[in-house]
Amino acid sequence: MSAITDGQKIVDHLKELVHIPSPSGFAEKAITFMKEFFEKNGVAYTVTNKGAIIATIKGKNDSRHRMLTAHVDTLGAMVKEVKSSGRLSLSMIGGYYWNTVEGEYCTIHTASGKTISGTVLMHETAGHVYKGMNELKRDEKHMEVRVDGVFRSKEDALSAGISVGDFVSFSPRFEETENGFIKSRHLDDKASVAILMHIIEKVKDENVQLPYTTHFLISNNEEIGYGGNSNIPEQTVEYLAVDMGAIGDGQETDEFTVSICAKDSSGPYHLGLRNKLVQLAEENSIKYKIDIYPYYSSDASAAIKAGYDIVHGLIGPGIDASHAFERTHRTSLLHTANLLYVYLQSDMS
């Protein structure tokens, strides 16, 4: 069993993924991308009625299954109103604060399939016009999209094909630094999807025989709370969400290790599975942190709330400035990948 050492392959997958617009409710292109990946690697999959994808690699034991999940849906927005000025007010998709998208480039995805670029700004942005603009609240009332079109009225915007209900995606601004940092929006959770992609490639390329049939759920509604709460095969015993580790004051998680979650806002994760992950990390010289995420829930906790009788856990790379200007380091991606790789080849308790 060789360790995963090529972080660049994970980063390459990640770069492709973050450039596919996929706010919750608008993730079809990202799911299609994953279909093509599974087909290329000879992995059988099914698509759920909700639009998620479940890929399966059969193991030696087909009576007890594992399931790993990561999500391709991201934060985003929807056009709430076409203003008389031709600018757009937004309704947010997912849990973020308006100040985290102020000044961000965005794309409006019209019902006809046309895309139009714009910028998310506070209405009172002009410093030479609006006194006290720095004191105004960043909220749905004050934030709007300045559309890159000759729009002087609501009618101009409507004529261009923009309407209420159009999805709006935010520019990822992906960048990899020379010293190994990856900066981008949507690292939550496309970093973990990229990790699972590389693990699947390694399992297939090296003909690794997994001890248990293993399912990989790529969910598409996690950011709104119900991406992984259904379509779990009845043989599933262990369910591991691969998401992101939250960094901030009072947190142990950093950008250079794998974060193992003990508890989030949904409650504690399964102690036995957590201890097993810690043991595997220590036995394989994988750097890790144990942490509690105070304002967080996952596809694994959604499955528990839905009533599934499973052992659930949560791990992921450490992501700085989550739901905002996110950043991680390739060492965190590698430690997460290696913990998952040894976990997939370990015995259930």
Pairing label, strands 44-47, 181-183: unpaired
> What pairing do the DSSP bridges indicate for beta strands 181-183 and 258-264?
unpaired
Are 220 and 73 within 8 A, CB to CB? yes
Which residues form the catalytic set?
A: 222
> If DSSP codes are grouped into helix, strand and coil, which group holds residue 334?
helix
Q: Give the 3-state secondary structure of residue 345.
A: coil
220 within 8 A of 59, measured Cβ to Cβ: no
The response to whether 188 counts as a known ligand-binding position is yes
How many CB atoms sit inside 10 A of residue 61's CB?
A: 15
Residue 12 annotated as lining a ligand binding site: no
Q: Is 243 annotated as a binding residue?
A: yes
Is the CB of residue 94 less than 8 Å from the CB of residue 224? yes
Who contacts 298 (Cβ-Cβ below 8 Å, separation ≥6)?
Answer: 222, 228, 241, 243, 261, 264, 266, 314
Tell me the Ramachandran region of residue 74: left when phi exceeds 0, alpha when psi lies from -120 to 50, beta otherwise: beta
223 among annotated binding-site residues:
yes
Q: CA 261, 266, 267, 270 torsion: positive or negative?
A: negative
Which residues, other chains included, contact 187 with Cβ-Cβ below 8 Å and sequence gap of 6+? 14, 18, 244, 317, 319, 326, 327, 328
Question: For residue 267, what are the β-bridge partners?
Answer: 264
Q: 3-class secondary structure for 141-187? A: CCEEEEECCCCCCHHHHHHCCCCCCCEEEECCCCEECCCCEEECCCH
Q: How many CA atoms lie within 13 A of 73 on its CB side?
A: 31
Cis peptide before 166, with omega less than 30 degrees from 0?
no
Length of the chain: 349
Binding residue numbers for Zn(2+): 71, 188, 223, 243
